[in-house]
């Protein structure tokens, strides 16, 4: 997965989990609910990370997504 999430898991486990988990860092657990509603994702759990300023990871069910990719797709469509 991405360095932002840091993990003791090996690369094979990381690759497998990106197919099962969609993680995004947030400032508060309430933002996980907002993201779930906005994007139609199913929230599996919230993990406290202790990292500032994004102290929580929202873990949604499904393949990992990227807001950067979503933004890029939108920019390409507008050209």
Threshold 0.85, pTM exceeds: no
Tell me, yes or no, whether 34 lies in a domain.
Answer: yes
Task: Identify the domain containing residue 74 by its residue range.
Answer: 20-78
Is 37 inside any structural domain?
A: yes
Domain assignment of residue 51, yes or no: yes
Convert 21-39 to b/e letters by CB count within 10 Å (16 or more is b): bbbbbbeeeebbeebeeee
Question: Mind listing the pLDDT tens digit for each residue in 14-58?
Answer: 555 667 999 999 999 999 999 999 999 999 999 999 999 999 999
Give pLDDT tens digits for 63-77: 999 877 666 666 667
Residue 9 resides in a domain: no
Residue 11 lies in a domain: no
Residue 1 domain-assigned? no
Is residue 41 within 8 Å of 35, Cβ to Cβ?
yes
Number of structural domains found in the chain: 1
Phi-psi region for residue 62, left (φ > 0), alpha (ψ -120 to 50) or beta?
left
The per-residue pLDDT for 68 is: 76
8 domain residue, yes or no: no
Q: Please check whether residue 57 is in contact with residue 29, taking contact to mean a CB–CB distance below 8 angstroms.
A: no
């Amino acid at each position: 997965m991405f360095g932002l999430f840091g993990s003791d898991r090996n690369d094979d486990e990381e690759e497998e989990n990106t197919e099962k988990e969609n993680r995004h860092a947030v400032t508060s657990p309430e933002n996980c609910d907002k993201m779930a509603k906005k994007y139609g994702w199913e929230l599996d759990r919230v993990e406290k990370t202790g990292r500032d300023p994004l102290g929580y990871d929202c873990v949604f069910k499904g393949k990992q997504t990227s807001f950067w990719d979503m933004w890029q797709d939108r920019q390409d469509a507008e050209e």
